[in-house]
Amino acid sequence: MQVGKNKTILLIAYYFPPIGMGGTGRPYALFRYLPDYGYNVIVLTVKDILYPQYDYSLLNEDDRKRIDRCGSFDPARMLYLIGKRKQKQAGYPKMSKILPLYFPDLKRGWVFLAKKKLKKLISSDNITAVVTTAPPPSVHLLGLTLKKISQIPWVADFRDYWFSLPIERIYPDGLMKKYSLRLKEKIQKQADEIISVNNDIRKYFGRGEVIMNGADRSVLEEWRKPYKDDRERIIIGLLGTFNYLVPIEPLLIAVRKIIDDNKIPERKLLIIHAGHTDAGFDRLIDKYRLGRVVTKKGYLERVRAIGALLPCDILYIGVSRFDEYNILPGRIFDYLVSGRPVLGVVPEKSDMASLLDEYRYGTSITDHKTDKIVDYLMTAYEKKMNNTWPARSFDYNAEKYTMPALAEKYAAVLDRLTE
């Protein structure tokens, strides 16, 4: 519902569509849905860069009028300018020997040009608040610049701790950690509000609000479309990139065991993956001899990816354990609006486990035991063969897991800061 505030916020995000994959979902949600709550959104982002995948379906011509793109001296932009278009592998940058030149991250080369744009935008566009969303953490240097030249409220938004993991687990030496912790302290003190994507990140920064991610309404609508049910097989769906943060191996071990123990014939099992893959993913498929079980659709625009998973009986996600540093991959919200059973092999007492326990059709396995995954899959298979497995059901409030719900909560914070 449109609210008559007519305020304008500046959203500063290095990662923004048409860049694809999960990192752009949150800034895209704010851009797309905050106007429904009375906030016009202008975006400051980078020009085209080297990146694994792009999704050109997310923006239209009218959207582009609200997006200001500037150049950059960071490696991804430089490589794009010399003709490189797609990076082979996704993930946060390795802390290489050149990192000190770009402290606190390899995107630092964007900040110099973005500062000029920031100063111009806040002087000419009647901005009432600025949101900087990380990663990369260098984007918050623009928030610190803002506080030196303006009284405009600044929200520091954290989609991850620093990168995927916190400072203490990322930087290779004491000096880099020292500088990074000092920058973290400046953000903590100077930001008017800190918003984190999960409770563990909020604890890491010591204050602020928790506003989790959400699924786009187009995803929710796609899940509700009719599809042809496969009565002969149990089908497991995978969405997005799987790696050391979001591991696929627990599922593959269980499926291999089921086949080797002759519990389910190989021809009765199908895993559909819609998402970016790398050599590590392919090695695991080969390791567990599941090439005939796994169908790879590759990276698809988000709605097309959901369409590829419509026949799935189960959606799977894994999340690694990193002591108290639990992550919350945004794709879980695409799962939670699906109306389908979701199996998560996730850390105990994490936000992911809580979401799965709250979701009517969710199951969380927090001890990573293969036998429990096997038992779950066997139960699903037997019930499907007997027509008693819940293929999909929408008798719950899926709206609370959507981007509009995220934007509504964000608008409430902005209301408080700008009143």
Cβ contact 333:313 at 8 Å? no
What integer pLDDT is reported at residue 95 of this predicted model?
47
The enclosing H or E element of 332 equals helix 331-336
* C-alpha torsion angle, residues 10, 15, 18, 19 (rounded to 10): 180
SS3 342: strand
Please count the other Cβ atoms lying within 10 Å of the Cβ belonging to residue 225: 9
Which numeric CATH code is attached to 217-400?
3.40.50.2000
Q: For the chain, which residues make up each domain, given as ranges?
A: 7-214+402-418, 217-400
| 240 phi-psi bin (left φ>0, alpha ψ -120 to 50, beta other) | left
Q: Are 74 and 109 in contact (CB under 8 A)?
A: yes
Residue 34: pLDDT above 50?
yes
For the chain, how many residues are written? 419
pLDDT at 81 over 90: no
pLDDT bin (cut points 50, 70, 90) of residue 90 is very low
Q: Cα–Cα distance between 1 and 408 in angstroms, integer?
A: 10
pTM: 0.92
Half-sphere exposure of residue 89: CA atoms within 13 angstroms, side-chain side: 12
Q: Distance (Å, rounded) from C-alpha 25 to C-alpha 20?
A: 8
pLDDT at 96 over 80: no
CATH fold, domain 7-214+402-418, is: Rossmann fold (3.40.50)
Q: Do domains 7-214+402-418 and 217-400 have the same CATH topology?
A: yes
Residue range 81-89: mean pLDDT, rounded: 69
Instruction: Read off the tokens for 38.
Output: 């009375």
Q: Which range is least confidently modeled, 15-24, 101-110, 380-389, 390-399?
A: 101-110
Q: What is the pLDDT of residue 187?
A: 98
Q: Rounded to whole angstroms, how far apart are CA atoms 158 and 183?
A: 14
Residue-wise pLDDT for 114-138, tens only, equals 999 999 999 887 999 999 999 999 9
User: Is there a contact between 342 and 309 (Cβ–Cβ < 8 Å)?
Assistant: no
Return the SS3 of 249: helix
Residue 72 pLDDT class (50, 70, 90 cuts): confident
Quickly state the pLDDT bin for 322 (edges 50, 70, 90). Answer: confident
